[in-house]
Structure 1
Amino acid sequence: MDPRRARALPVPAETQADARMFMLGGDTIRALKVIVDATGYDLRQARDIVYALIYDVEVPILQAP
């Protein structure tokens, strides 16, 4: 796990908020699922993102096309 890798993985703002909420509630599996479903990233990437959100590492916001 390396939350710093999440700096290169854009995620929609609403998805970031949902994943952060689940992580703060102790539901890591649900946080990972939210990220994977919204982005299509693999589990390693999703894990980097959810831990980045908790450790306040900036995750770029994915802009809608």
Structure 2
Amino acid sequence: MLRDLMAALALMLVIEGLAPLCVPAAWRATFQRMTGWADGQIRFAGLLSILAGVLLFTFVR
């Protein structure tokens, strides 16, 4: 179980690193726009990300 969790974390880090590596200007612009979001908007984006991950995990497993 721990091995699977570590593998998932490693894969997440690889995926997270793709945008700044491939399109740094677009990544920076998006990140700067997000800093202007209200806390509720950021929480909602986080919630959507979690739900998408859970759904994807459910379909994969």
- Structure with the higher helix share, 1 or 2: 2
Higher CA-based Rg? 2
TM-score over 0.5 (shorter chain): no
Higher relative contact order (CA 8 A, sep 6+): 1
In the superposition, the TM-score normalised over structure 2's length comes to 0.33
TM-score, normalisation: structure 1: 0.31
